[in-house]
Structure 1
């Protein structure tokens, strides 16, 4: 009977403990488009965590706690969310709360009207490209990242922040899913962590684009490039030059657009470089 009670307790809904290590203190911003860092215990083996049917990145923090680093999509409603956790002791559900964050608007004028309302052939191209990107974002390579506190891919002024409600020629489109760096054309772009290159392509909206898989669903994307230095399947090291800044695709001038994705959700890259502003 006592064992049954223990099993029922393990299955019960628990509330997430506030992460106390360096990763928790620096990355825990549980808002739409943010990150929740959730303590999972100090066992020998890494727990497995799942959020909305997607495997979640799990690493040890500086205090030796295993922590889940959960990406929260921009469209996530405020309030309670549930993380499914599997350990050697059994399964449990850990609840965490998503709080509010306000994102401002950005209005952009484009001379190329097709980049606002593509024609049917361009739409078909975009759909193919979108599916390829979603496949890359959804990949879970069961290898821990070399680091989750990232280096900036370029050094320069942060221009358009993550989450902007964007209006092109007065028409609202998807919110800004990355962070822009206003730097000159030809600026070298460096990998912020070790990884495997999964995409090198030239897309309708993104222009020349590179994806890097850092492990456990931790993916970064770089677009509007002038050129790349890598090929799909290539291993890259932290600090290695992978591309050069440009203004290809839907861009009004040279800049780097940088995306970070966790468990299939685009999240604010500023969190990972210490530049997050509530």
Structure 2
């Protein structure tokens, strides 16, 4: 088989087939910077080890039949330097986190309440935030169907992960996902198999869907014009979760996609081969 065809076939393989290349997962995912992902060799055979980072369980996958890797999400707030993954047998694995510069983005909104919410808005926002944080913290036992994710929509990126955002000149939280510039009504497809764990219509995010891919690996889609799934629904890879819209705090139709690992929002570009160092 020609070399480039072999690469294409490898990229399309499900997680169970990654054993064909013992360094593939690391080369794909290991972007050890704040907002990135660290792949840690646990050097363990036998049953799957239970690993944690900063007190939260992390995704562990099998490589070559009896070799285990921890796939660790690194929050944007993490300081560069030496970090540590803990395993239930008392072992600890050190790894290094580098630095990364994220650019600024300035956005003008007509609705000033979406920049400085009123007291009643804040009450709603805090309740919605608690719901979403609980969904991000969920940790189901299943292994993700694939780690190289499909794009939820086909379209150009309009805003990257980690951008420092200023709304009407006031700094707010960094951008926690990727934005794709696509028309309203475009179908949004789940990038891996999973279960719908939360849906809602939120003050900032508008119509929102959370899909749990397994072991704390979660996708969130927001600003939807329509939601096409229900809580508890099990989805195959590529199933439609909803349609692109501009609900919530949005200046126009686009698809916003978050990826979370061990309750850390990380750059979705890592999982679609579009990461920029």
Q: Taking structure 2 as the reference length, what is the TM-score of the superposition?
A: 0.91
Which of 56, 75, 79 is the equivalent residue of 1:73?
A: 75
Residues of 2 paired with 1:63 and 1:94: CA distance?
21
Residues of 2 paired with 1:57 and 1:110: CA distance?
38
Provide Cα deviations, 1:191-210, integer angstroms capped at 9, x if missing partner. 11111101111000000000
Answer whether contact 1:178 1:258 (CA < 8 A) is retained.
yes
Pairwise CA distance, 1:20? 5.1
Flag structure 2 segments of 5+ consecutive residues without an equivalent: 1-20
Residues of 2 paired with 1:72 and 1:56: CA distance?
11
Partner of 1:241: 240
Q: Which runs of 4+ in 1 moved over 6 A?
A: none
Residues of 2 paired with 1:52 and 1:194: CA distance?
27
Flag structure 1 segments of 5+ consecutive residues without an equivalent: 1-18
Answer whether contact 1:153 1:192 (CA < 8 A) is retained.
yes
Pairwise CA distance, 1:142? 1.3
Please say which of residues 226-235 and 59-68 is displaced more in the overlay. Answer: 59-68
SS of the equivalent of 1:214 reads strand
Pairwise CA distance, 1:48? 1.1
CA RMSD of aligned residues (A): 1.3
Pairwise CA distance, 1:47? 1.2
Show the 5 A alignment for 1:132-211.
132-211=131-210
Pairwise CA distance, 1:61? 3.1
Pairwise CA distance, 1:40? 1.3
Answer whether contact 1:22 1:61 (CA < 8 A) is retained.
no
Partner of 2:212: 213
Answer whether contact 1:21 1:63 (CA < 8 A) is retained.
no
Pairwise CA distance, 1:146? 1.0
Answer whether contact 1:189 1:245 (CA < 8 A) is retained.
yes
Pairwise CA distance, 1:42? 4.9
Pairwise CA distance, 1:224? 0.5
Pairwise CA distance, 1:21? 2.0
Residues of 2 paired with 1:36 and 1:98: CA distance?
8
Which of 49, 52, 58 is the equivalent residue of 1:50?
A: 52
Pairwise CA distance, 1:251? 0.3
Partner of 1:131: 130
Provide Cα deviations, 1:22-59, integer angstroms capped at 9, x if missing partner. 11111000000000001112512111111000000000
Residues of 2 paired with 1:23 and 1:130: CA distance?
33
Provide Cα deviations, 1:200-229, integer angstroms capped at 9, x if missing partner. 110000000000011100011000000011
Residues of 1 paired with 2:115 and 2:152: CA distance?
28
How many residue pairs get matched? 257
Q: Taking structure 1 as the reference length, what is the TM-score of the superposition?
A: 0.90
1:119 paired to 2:127:
no
Residues of 1 paired with 2:41 and 2:84: CA distance?
13
Residues of 1 paired with 2:96 and 2:70: CA distance?
14
Residues of 2 paired with 1:34 and 1:137: CA distance?
16
1:271 paired to 2:273:
no
Provide Cα deviations, 1:168-207, integer angstroms capped at 9, x if missing partner. 0000000000000000000000011111101111000000
Answer whether contact 2:34 2:74 (CA < 8 A) is retained.
yes
Answer whether contact 2:45 2:66 (CA < 8 A) is retained.
no
Partner of 1:60: 62
Pairwise CA distance, 1:65? 2.7
Partner of 1:12: none
